[in-house]
A and B are shown apart, each in its own frame.
Chain A
Amino acid sequence: MALTRSALRLFSGRFNKACQVRGYADAPSMSLTFAAPSHVLYNNISVKQIDVPSFSGSFGILPAHVPTLAVLKPGVVTVFENDGSTKKFFVSSGTVTINEDSTVQLLAEEAVPVGSLDISAAKELLAQSQSQLASASSDVAKAEAEISIEVSEALVKACE
């Protein structure tokens, strides 16, 4: 009797642990550090999900995501916080690191809340960069103009 009870306890303990690891829905939240050189947005805050735009495609990061590295594309990062609210930020470029222990470092060169973007200024920037591409002479200038266009297109898209 005692043997079976202790065996049950052991078994149930391990079963619970197995459940914790396999069930993504109730896995421990991941800890996000989302920072730019001049300000920090999240510092080791646990969140539910993060959607990031990267050069290898946009993807969402949930707890226990497979570890990976990615380079950010200009676009919108959406953070789903633990209390259900979502926040959107526009990032210009950067890197994202997902580690084995479910910590995520999102390092952006510039990151601003989408709410503070001005659509008219974004359209103006797009027009400016397009004319820059037209008048670009060297390969370097062309590449810089193309980067500028990419960022301004993403900016306009984020405002809409």
Chain B
Amino acid sequence: MFSRSAAIVPQCSQQVRGMATLKMISIRLKSVKNIQKITQSMKMVSAAKYTKAERELKLARPYGIGSQEFYKKAEVKDEEGEKGQLIIAISSDRGLCGAVHSSIGRIVKADIAANPNTKVVIVGDKVRNILQRLHAKNIAMVVTEVGRKPAVFGDAAIVAQSIINSGIEFSKGKILFNAFRTVVSFRTTEMPLYSQTAVANASKLPVYDSLDSDVIQSYTEFSLASLLFYSMKENATSEQSSRMTAMDNASKNAGEMIDKLTMTFNRTRQAVITRELIEIISVIATLMS
């Protein structure tokens, strides 16, 4: 009894040194293992969503590219005016997807710095969080509940309708989104957006027969919805593929941490056993001699 209580006290003081407590290491190990399970399952979920998004994007690409053809062929240029710039930034509500949202936020900030008379329509909470602190005055509209389900044309139509109803006037405009290239890469691109006056003043517009302002208005409204739809589809695919990569890296890192922690745990456990053995043996040695 006397020897046991004498043995316990030195053990306590030795265990509190740094990370050495077995209990602390095992708690940390359990939490990192949980994190790895979560990131692995997130990776699989985004892999499934990515496959679906990529399939829908492939079907939507001719539609999106076709919507931009008129503006290229008619050589529409930005209006010469002082009504400011409109940026529509496409992102989503969910994070943990790599550089998808921050790259858009960075470009919007640079644009606002270059041209303070800029209004931003934000689709998705993430970019709103990035811009809210310093550029709250430039935010014209925010669209939320984005990213949970794949985008359909109806969603883009609702956004386009709100932009038209709000009566925002602009001389030059652009849609900022992440164009999908491959599973591991995306590029932050901008699609030009032209106001009705810009279309009416296009250099090649007289070539187009029998146009009145009604037709031009309906055409630009519909094509705004189409361009928004296309950029939403591209952005969704880039986001899912980026999330897949990010979660994969996170799982790998968690795996490395688990390996290191397990080594430390085993070494500490063996050290504790060795220490106990040495103490018992030294006590017996003193008793024997």
Contacts and interface: CB of A to CB of B under 8 A. Distances in A.
Given A33-B62, A71-B222, A66 B229 contact: no
Which interface residue of A36, A38, A97 has the most chain B CB atoms within 10 A? A97
Nearest to B233: A37
Interface stretch (B64-72, B79-87, B108-116): B64-72
Which interface residue of A37, A55, A103 has the most chain B CB atoms within 10 A? A37
Contacts of A66: 209
- Main SS at interface, chain B: helix
Contacts of B60: 37-38
B203 to A, nearest CB: 12
A100 interface: yes
B274 to A, nearest CB: 68
Contact of B67 (A68, A71, A107): A107
Contacts of B73: 97, 99-101, 103
Contact of A105 (B59, B61, B70): B70
B152 interface: yes
A105 B66 contact: yes
Interface stretch (B93-101, B140-148, B213-221, B238-246): B213-221
Contacts of A71: 215, 218-219, 222
Interface in A51-73: 55-56, 66-71
A109 interface: yes
Interface in B172-208: 204, 207-208
Contacts of A56: 210, 215
Contact of B70 (A36, A37, A55, A99): A99
B153 A37 contact: yes
B218 A107 contact: no
B211 interface: yes
A133 B219 CA distance: 27
Contacts of B69: 33, 97, 99, 103, 105
17 contacts: A33-B66, A35-B62, A35-B66, A37-B60, A38-B152, A40-B59, A55-B215, A56-B215, A66-B209, A67-B208, A69-B219, A70-B215, A93-B222, A95-B223, A99-B69, A100-B207, A109-B153
Interface of B: 56, 59-63, 65-67, 69-70, 73-74, 152-153, 204, 207-211, 215-216, 218-219, 222-223, 226, 229
Given A35-B62, A67-B209, 4 more contacts: A36-B63, A56-B210, A93-B222, A94-B222
Interface of A: 33, 35-40, 43, 55-56, 66-71, 93-95, 97, 99-101, 103, 105, 107, 109
